[in-house]
Amino acid sequence: MSEKLPALNAVDDGRNIDPRLGALLGEAAQQTPLATKHDTELHAKTFGNVPSRQSWTSPTYYDHPMLHQPVWVWSIPAYFYVGGVAGVGAMLGAAAQLVAPEAMQSLVIRSRWVAMVGGAMSSALLIYDLGRPERFLHMLRVFRVRSPMNMGSWILTGFSSAAGAAAILPFGPRLFRPLANVCGVVAGVLGLGLSGYTGVLLSQTAVPLWHRSYKITPLLFLASGTAAAASFFEFFPLNEREASAVQRFGLVGKIVELAATLALEANAGRVERVGRPLKQGFSGFLWNGAKVLTIASALLSLLPGKSRPKRVAEGILGSAASACLRFGIYYAGKASARDPRASFEQQRASVAESASVDVA
């Protein structure tokens, strides 16, 4: 026995398997051992609390998280923002193309380019988050209506193709023009899918804050996409008609965005622990910052005048608001997943809610 020990230590891959005696054929043999260590800080922290001596009034498991928090990185909320701009922007472009193709020609063309570049950036941001990026095409292996991420992959693929064709085809022979216009409309319709499905994507998780907001998040994301797309177009030099359309589009978007933000917060706040990350910490800072920026940008749009500096200022405020909103709800969801009481209290509350409905 003792002479075997050095051999085992030499193969210190955390499995204690001597390669001369055993083969690595198990289900998990492909995992790289040293990378899977737990977070030591968490342990040090909990040990400092003498966790076994918790009070027993409303027990949890040492307040250790019940869920794994979402493992996505910054590129996912960034994608929510970019996808929102590209998707809703394509819809505005499609409307302009159908209503006033001549008068709003530059808006139409710009919206197609924004959609094409935004679609490509969206794919890049999504692939960046994957554990195995080279397998991104596996997303299109199946067509699965139940999985919003699968639906989203199809929507994004269709949207990018249509937007790309709509942007590039006009450079080809005249014959291609009608085809480009069809693609522009298709991109507009799919663009709304792109901006809206991300709300479904978030709500279809076990994360208490996101799951509780299943009805509001799609609306919030589309409204925020509307505000963000309009804000982005404010950066371009547009003629008066275009600027007026963009401003009105954005103003309504901002108002609905603000209303949906407040509605989501009120609904989440009905279970204190669930709503808490929207009020506290970094996520609360982003979330409340988004509200302030939205209000500021909306007030600015209400002031008369369409001068360039004013439009750019509106654009900066509106874009920052939408970006803060996406990152805010992302980090707030993560925080609510780390809090076991958020899940517990939410589920107890919904049991009570449905029980009272049964009685009524």
Stretch that binds another protein, among 1-9, 35-43, 163-171, 316-324 (CB under 8 A): 35-43
Question: Of 242-271, which residues contact another protein (CB under 8 A)?
Answer: 242-246, 248-249, 252-253, 256
Q: Does 206 bind another protein (CB under 8 A)?
A: yes
Q: Does 46 bind another protein (CB under 8 A)?
A: yes
- Nearest one of 116, 118, 113 to 79, comparing CA atoms: 118
Q: Does 216 bind another protein (CB under 8 A)?
A: yes
Query: Which residue do the tokens 């790309």 mark?
Result: 164
Please name the amino acid found at residue 208.
Answer: P
Q: Does 356 bind another protein (CB under 8 A)?
A: no
Q: How many residues bind another protein (CB under 8 A)?
A: 115
Output 173 or 304, the one with its CB closest to another protein: 304
Output 44 or 175, the one with its CB closest to another protein: 44
Give the C-alpha separation, 63 to 73, whole Å: 25
Structure-token pair, residue 349? 């509350």
Shortest distance, position 205 Cβ to another protein, whole Å: 4
Give the C-alpha separation, 251 to 229, whole Å: 11
Can you spell out the DSSP letters for 119-168? HHHHHHHHHHH-SSGGGGGGGGS---TT-HHHHHHHHHHHHHHHHHHHHH
* Cα 26 off chain centre by: 36
Element (H, E) at 275: helix 272-275
Shortest distance, position 189 Cβ to another protein, whole Å: 8
Longest alpha-carbon distance in the chain:
87
Stretch that binds another protein, among 33-41, 163-171, 286-294, 314-322 (CB under 8 A): 33-41
Shortest distance, position 69 Cβ to another protein, whole Å: 8
Cβ atoms 298, 257 nearer than 8 A: no
Output 131 or 309, the one with its CB closest to another protein: 131
Give the C-alpha separation, 211 to 228, whole Å: 24
Q: Does 20 bind another protein (CB under 8 A)?
A: no
Cα dihedral sign, 57-60-63-67: negative
Stretch that binds another protein, among 9-17, 172-180, 263-271, 285-293 (CB under 8 A): 9-17
Output 9 or 36, the one with its CB closest to another protein: 36
Rg from Cα positions in the chain: 25
Site string for another protein, 265-304 (x = CB under 8 A): ----------------------------------------
Shortest distance, position 268 Cβ to another protein, whole Å: 15
Question: Of 78-117, which residues contact another protein (CB under 8 A)?
Answer: 88, 91-92, 94-96, 98-100, 103-104
Question: What's the angle, vertex CA 191, arms to CA 106 and CA 336, rounded to 5?
Answer: 130
Output 147 or 288, the one with its CB closest to another protein: 147
Question: What's the angle, vertex CA 7, arms to CA 4 and CA 13, rounded to 5?
Answer: 125
Output 143 or 292, the one with its CB closest to another protein: 143
Cβ atoms 189, 200 nearer than 8 A: no
- Pick from 4, 11, 18, 49: which binds another protein (CB under 8 A)? 49
Question: Of 146-175, which residues contact another protein (CB under 8 A)?
Answer: 146-150, 152-153
